[in-house]
Amino acid sequence: MSLMMITYLRDFLCRVSEVKDILTQRGTKFKFADSKSKSSYSEEDLITSVKKLSKLGSGFRTIKVGRVILIVSVPEELDDDHMQILNLAEDDGYGPYGMVTIEDMSRALGWDNERSNRAFELLLGKGMVWLDVHRGEKKYWFPR
């Protein structure tokens, strides 16, 4: 399975560490031109690969969210609002890891409902976040 296929299957966001784990589990072996090892690769090797893909205009890039580096495969640019949402989802202090509500954003970021909804429209439209509505409460989940 190629890096592009893995990222596509993971709804456009995937941790670099997860890609490395998938490739390792599958026994995928290859050598990067500048890698020190002939049969294994580091997360840094994968980040370098994504950077090379991004030069082709493929929409692939890496972003740092909290302590995690994610591969993003959406040709859409994420603005500061989207990055703040991703950082909030990474922060366990506001609920389950990977989940954000409009109320969380209001408390943590001081945003009104309109700004929060506008930021989520792009993320929902690109499949980067899942919406769960239970008893009228909206919860936005980011895939791990």
pTM of this structure: 0.57
Measured CA to CA, the distance from residue 132 to residue 86 in angstroms comes to 17
What confidence category does residue 140 fall into, taking pLDDT thresholds of 50, 70 and 90?
Answer: very high
Is the confidence at residue 48, as pLDDT, over 70?
yes
Is the confidence at residue 26, as pLDDT, over 70?
yes
Measured CA to CA, the distance from residue 122 to residue 128 in angstroms comes to 8
Q: What is the pLDDT of residue 11?
A: 42
Is the confidence at residue 5, as pLDDT, over 70?
no
Tell me the per-residue pLDDT of 103-125, one tens digit each, with 9 for 90 and over. 999 999 999 999 999 999 888 88
For residue 112 the two structure tokens come to 């009104």
Of all residues in the chain, what percent carry a pLDDT higher than 90? Answer: 15
